[in-house]
Homo-oligomer: A and B are copies of this chain.
């Protein structure tokens, strides 16, 4: 579809969150279609995880987004979907890859939302494809378990924070979940959640460096808990790490089923977003260093540095590989 002014920031760059939302909708359609392709209990595919994704080039207002999706692996209870987004300037015909993402879905029964159904297996062209898929499946399963433990953290408000400290840029928004945010099962679309997360992360980044910022990448996101219609969700973000030219922001989503539900507020999702600051000509700008004050902040900064160096090393390895 054509990118509109509301999809973009004031510099005309389309929000990463808008793109994530389109990706998730494409993934949900193709995996729901696949899981219902054999006679059996009708189901809706629910997003369980999005792998780390890089935004390779910014998309602008007036460009057309072409989204294509393909099922690349099926386990007994989950579907792996790869989604590619191309931006097309229909005036010049120029096309660019905006990003590629890998998503995992699980089929939930339409009659009983707590029942996970079986996934019809796909045919692989080559045996290696199946083996590689299985490897990816095992890896993500492990990672999901790990993040489940990390989820206890909260963001406390800070009064009169100094510039460039963590407290200075941390932000949160609340959103009342309406019918258009939800699937047929009455649960929030993963894409809607990711769009809100990107919105908060973008505010944190802009508050920190006071310039035009864009989403550079999103780390793997695990959706441990569903969020139901009528909940209030609180999306909070805080900066964890800065390199010379990038910022890492941790975002939490908490759901508050405050009507009709005997349940406490709970952590539904958390993720790391990386932003860069751009000049008016679209060049990366230096980022002010994050000032850490508490022990926890220092620890998170080091952890962020670890993720940053690991990603950098991986990218260099890939570049050397493709140069060979």
Flag if B10 contacts A259 (CB, 8 Å): yes
**Inter-subunit contact B210/A36 (CB<8 Å):** no
Interface range for A = 35 or more
Give the nearest-CB partner of A213 in chain B: B259
Contact between chains at B206 and A232 (CB < 8 Å):
yes
* Chain B CB within 8 A of A304 CB: no
User: Are A184 and B110 in contact, with the CB atoms below 8 A?
Assistant: no
Q: Does A148 contact B (CB under 8 A)?
A: no
For A211, give its contact among B9, B61, B178, B259 (CB under 8 Å): B259
Contact mask A144-167 → B, CB, 8 Å, 1/0? 000000000000110100000000
> Looking at the complex, which of A27-35, A46-54, A124-132, A281-289 is the stretch in contact with chain B?
A27-35
Contacts A6-B178, A171-B232 supplied; 9 other A-B pairs, CB < 8 Å:
A2-B29, A5-B180, A9-B230, A33-B258, A179-B180, A184-B230, A206-B258, A211-B259, A212-B259
What are 11 A-B pairs with beta-carbon distances under 8 A? Answer: A6-B6, A9-B230, A10-B62, A36-B91, A36-B92, A62-B184, A90-B210, A91-B206, A92-B210, A173-B175, A184-B230
The 4 closest A-B pairs by CB, nearest first: A157-B157, A5-B179, A5-B5, A179-B179
